[in-house]
Amino acid sequence: MGLLLWLGLLAAAVAVFFLLMRLFPEQRSGMEWADAFRLFGLLALVSSGLVATRSLDLGLAARNIALWAAIFALAFLAYAFRGDLLAVGLRARSALIPAYAVADSPTSMVVSRGEGGGFYVMGSVNGARVWFIVDTGASDIVLSPKDAARAGLADATTTFSRPSETANGVGYGAPVTVDGLAVGPIHLAKVPVFINQAPMRESLLGMAFLDRLESFEFRGDQLFLRGRR
């Protein structure tokens, strides 16, 4: 009896699988059959305890079959629409933590306005994580002394010889070229930056960064950055 119940459950799962494939034919091309077989195998393994069943309660059996079939259907839908679910999750994270931008294509991204009205984004310089603020009023990419040190760009021998006008008067910076600067899916190589001598709360992405993009656009509380292909 238990064997028949187990086989019935697997048959129901197969029926649900093909029903979903019929209802969502657009997902068929993206479905990897190897993963589908893994799901079947997992279902068979988890439910194999039914083989030991000696007596059958039809109501309970029907509920168990319906439950496992629903679990399998949800697992299939989660896999089939994993790209859409991931995009929703990323957008939700961006709304909660604006510094985590959302990539909407292989070379473009969307940044949400953060607290205080600025557009903050998490990036990296030579592989070291850097928290930037996008500043169209700044001409250069400016790294704070802390961020530069973590990226291996500044030490006790760094010479701050370049003067620049700031809101607090004349400041001094050290010009360097970084091997790589990345912000979301946008990756730049051999990028000239300046290390600020005075402490900064965050590093700046100025026009030297924005001018290397294909385009950038402000729409309300969002900033769209498109890198060159």
How does pLDDT run across 33-79, given as a tens digit for each residue? 566 667 677 667 766 655 555 555 656 666 766 776 677 667 666 65
Q: What is the pLDDT of residue 159?
A: 81
**pLDDT value of position 181:** 95
Q: What angle do CA 130, 135, 136 make, to 5 degrees?
A: 145
Average pLDDT, the chain: 75
- What is the domain partition of the chain in residue ranges? 2-80, 93-226
Q: Strand 186-196 vs strand 141-143: parallel, antiparallel, or unpaired?
A: parallel
pLDDT at 84 over 90: no
Cβ-contact 173, 197 below 8 angstroms: yes
Distance CA 41, CA 115 (A): 48
| pTM exceeds 0.85 for this model | no
* pLDDT given at position 180: 94
228: pLDDT strictly greater than 80: yes
Per-residue model confidence as pLDDT tens digits over 149-208: 999 988 767 888 787 765 555 678 899 999 999 998 899 999 999 999 888 888 999 999
Q: Does the pLDDT at position 224 exceed 80?
A: yes
Model confidence pLDDT, tens digit, residues 110-158: 888 877 788 888 889 999 999 899 998 888 999 999 999 999 988 767 8
Q: What is the pLDDT of residue 106?
A: 80
pLDDT band for position 96 (cuts 50, 70, 90): low
Q: What pLDDT, on the 0 to 100 scale, is given for residue 209?
A: 94
Indicate the class that CATH gives domain 93-226: mainly beta
Q: Please check the confidence at residue 210 and state whether its pLDDT lies above 90.
A: yes
Which residue spans within the chain are E strands per DSSP?
A: 102-105, 108-112, 119-125, 128-134, 141-143, 162-166, 169-183, 186-196, 203-205, 215-219, 222-226
pLDDT attached to residue 50? 57
Residue 30: C-alpha distances to residues 24, 26, 79 (Å): 11, 8, 10
Supply the pLDDT for residue 107: 83
Contacts 24+ apart (CB under 8 A), 72-77: 72/13, 72/16, 72/17, 72/39, 72/43, 73/16, 73/20, 75/39, 76/16, 76/17, 76/20, 76/36, 76/39, 77/20
